[in-house]
Amino acid sequence: MNFLDELKNLKEQVKSENKLNIDFDFDNIVISGMGGSGIIGSIFQEFYSEKPVIPISDYGIPSFVNDKTLFIAVSFSGNTEETLNNVSEAKEKNAHIIAITSGGKLAEEVEDHIIIPAGMQPRSALGNMLMPLLNTFIKPGEESINSTYEALDSMDRDHSEMKAEAFKIYGNSYIPVIYGSRPFKSVAYRWKTQFNENAKTFAFYSYFPELNHNDTMPLKSAYRRDEYIFYVFESDNNRINRRIAVTQEITGEQFNIVHTPVTDPVAKLFYLIHYADYITYELALIRNVDPTDVSTIEELKKKLS
Ligand code: F6R
């Protein structure tokens, strides 16, 4: 699959009916994963609040993990060191472990696993890795899935708006800064990582209201402030929208507001994710770098293995 086909595959992934098989009681959920797989835990945490959810993109699990913990290991390759390390620790604590992976050591080590299709970049398999969690705990209905599919499909047919953003970034040598807000704080982080991995550029992120307590200072008077471009996600929360408006008013910065032309929360989530897929893909092409290439990350993993 070439990278554009990987992007276009996202809409098919949201139709996945995979679910976790849960026939036990649990008090908390710990989700371990790195990079393109790790983002699944933080996205899910913003959508589900019935029980504590702790996403981990690091070595080590919390000391509260025990036989009442649902421990979900997400690794596209199934060979990510930090995730495998955490699975061993979770086993020692008798946690209920479920893996979401395309194979690798993780599939061998965790009996209860969901196998997702290989043959694409981990970051392009976001739908395949996230849907089992949403299907199990959020249960989006047919209408929600259809509206998500349609939103993604229309972007796949025409992404000229995102291409124009890529040209704007390149033409002005901008450094992207992305500001999210709940339940899309982790989507702002996903944008950052897509800029990093697809376009091979630095990007930064934060979220409202927290950034009103720090980033607001350089917004007003940053050194080399003209070198940054600010993307801010439209919100459904009036207080957040008020903050966005007042922040612009007092700092003089004109944010690029990313509108979400859909109402369903799952459709919004995937729309925002896909928006950055296309900006970063186009930016890679303009810069003449391969959006698929993550060879430096792979080299590093090899050296450490
Ligand atoms: C994303 C990517 C990386 C990996 C990360 C973890 O496309 O290449 O961010 O997701 O290195 O590897 P996996 O996902 O195989 O556990």
In terms of Cβ atoms closer than 10 Å to its own Cβ (0-12, 13-18, 19+), residue 186 is buried
The atom of ligand 1 lying closest to the CA of 75 is 16
Amino acid found at 279: I
Along the 305 residues of the chain, how does pLDDT read in single tens digits?
899 999 999 999 999 999 999 999 999 999 999 999 999 999 999 999 999 999 999 999 999 999 999 999 999 999 999 999 999 999 999 999 999 999 999 999 999 999 999 999 999 999 999 999 999 999 999 999 999 999 999 999 999 999 999 999 999 999 999 999 999 999 999 999 999 999 999 999 999 999 999 999 999 887 788 899 999 999 999 999 999 999 999 999 999 999 999 999 999 999 999 999 999 999 999 999 999 999 999 999 999 98
Q: Distance, CA 82 to ligand 1 centroid (Å)? A: 11
Helix (H, G, I), strand (E, B) or coil at 24: coil
The atom of ligand 1 lying closest to the CA of 35 is 9
- 45: which 2 tokens? 């945490």
Q: Which contacts of 291-298 are long-range, i.e. CB under 8 A and separated by 24 or more positions? A: 291/3, 291/198, 291/199, 292/2, 292/3, 292/6, 292/121, 293/200, 294/121, 294/197, 297/35, 297/197
Q: Distance, CA 294 to ligand 1 centroid (Å)? A: 9
Q: Which residues line ligand 1 (CB under 6 A)?
A: 34-37, 75-77, 80, 83, 121-123, 197, 294, 297
Which residues are part of the catalytic machinery?
Answer: 197, 213, 301
Q: What is the pTM of this model?
A: 0.97
